[in-house]
């Protein structure tokens, strides 16, 4: 019975993640969502759990599957019935950012405040299982960078594993929304291609964060995360300046 319960939880976590990605447009209509193998790696889930999650999304009318090719987005997340005047905070923030790209810097500031506090909690609450998950995600990120593969999803998976270690579901959900917006606006559309040296620096920064969490040192973890996100902030600024010239 415990195994079944855990499997449901994993399936629902995958559903929530993909549903949110579709809702904000990170996966546009007719785009392909990550294949089963990638989802299994990201969530450390069985193929059965992945297929259960995809079946739920298909039943909701959000995705469809083509045999031998994968699953694709069929529709955006349906609007809330009988609440025409309801405006989601993150939808409004996305609209403002599209109208004024400098809003991404506000998002970066909010992300820094959120993740620096969150990593302190992770340092206090992380279990050995959480640490292992972080290291697995970092290894996957490192391997992908060496093979010049897409690393955005793997970078997110690493940060999300830190969020889960904080044991605060509200923070994890908020981080999920902010990361989705950040990647959609900046990372997934930028022209800049990281060099091998930049990837090495990113990996070293993440290693310092994980070591601090493993030592259960909240102050050290906060300092490591702050330096990492400060550099990301500068990258976002340089991208904005480039496109405004």
Same structural domain, 110 and 15: no
If one counts the domains in the chain, the total is: 2
Confidence of residue 76 (pLDDT cuts 50, 70, 90): low
Same structural domain, 234 and 207: yes
Q: Is 40 exposed, middle or buried (0-12, 13-18, 19+ CB in 10 A)?
A: middle
Confidence of residue 211 (pLDDT cuts 50, 70, 90): very high
Confidence of residue 222 (pLDDT cuts 50, 70, 90): very high
Range with the poorest average pLDDT among 87-91, 123-127, 238-242: 87-91
Same structural domain, 33 and 139: no
Range of the domain at 12: 2-73
Same structural domain, 8 and 38: yes
Same structural domain, 11 and 103: no
- Asked if residue 23 belongs to a domain, the reply is yes
Cα 44 from chain centroid (whole Å): 15
- Considering 73, 103, 121, which residue would you say is the last residue of a domain? 73
Q: What is the CATH number of the domain that holds 33?
A: 1.10.10.10
* Cβ neighbours for 190, distance < 8 A, ≥ 6 positions apart: 239
Q: What is residue 2's predicted lDDT score, i.e. its pLDDT? A: 35
Q: What is the CATH number of the domain that holds 129?
A: 1.20.120.530
> How much of the chain, in percent, has pLDDT values that exceed 90?
31
- Asked if residue 124 belongs to a domain, the reply is yes
Place of tokens 């909010």: 110
18: number of Cβ within 10 Å: 23
Please provide the distance, in angstroms rounded to a whole number, between the alpha carbons at the two ends of the chain. 60
Residues belonging to the chain = 245
Six token digits for residue 4: 């079944």
Between these two residues, 177 and 37, which has the higher pLDDT value?
Answer: 37
42: number of Cβ within 10 Å: 22
- Considering 49, 73, 97, which residue would you say is the last residue of a domain? 73
- Asked if residue 227 belongs to a domain, the reply is yes
Confidence of residue 217 (pLDDT cuts 50, 70, 90): very high
């Amino acid at each position: 019975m415990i195994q079944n319960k855990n499997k449901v939880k994993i399936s629902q976590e995958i559903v929530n993640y993909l549903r949110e990605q579709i809702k904000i447009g990170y996966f546009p209509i007719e785009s392909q969502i990550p294949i089963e193998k990638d989802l299994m790696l990201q969530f450390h889930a069985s193929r059965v759990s992945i297929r259960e999650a995809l079946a739920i999304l298909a039943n909701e009318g959000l995705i469809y599957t083509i045999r031998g090719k994968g699953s694709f987005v069929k529709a955006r997340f349906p609007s809330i019935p009988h609440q025409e005047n309801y405006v989601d905070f993150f939808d409004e923030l996305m609209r403002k950012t599209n109208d004024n790209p400098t809003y991404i810097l506000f998002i970066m500031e909010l992300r820094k405040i959120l993740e620096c506090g969150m990593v302190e909690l992770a340092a206090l609450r992380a279990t050995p299982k959480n640490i292992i998950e972080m290291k697995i995600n970092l290894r996957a990120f490192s391997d992908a960078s060496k093979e010049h593969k897409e690393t955005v999803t793997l970078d997110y998976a690493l940060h999300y594993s830190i969020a889960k270690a904080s044991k605060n579901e509200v923070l994890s959900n908020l981080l999920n929304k902010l990361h989705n917006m950040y990647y959609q606006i900046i990372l997934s559309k930028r022209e800049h291609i990281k060099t091998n040296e930049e990837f090495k620096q990113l990996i070293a920064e993440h290693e310092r964060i994980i070591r601090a969490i493993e030592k259960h040192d909240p102050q050290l973890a906060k300092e490591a995360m702050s330096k990492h996100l400060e550099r990301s902030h500068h990258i976002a600024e340089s991208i904005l300046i480039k496109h405004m010239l």
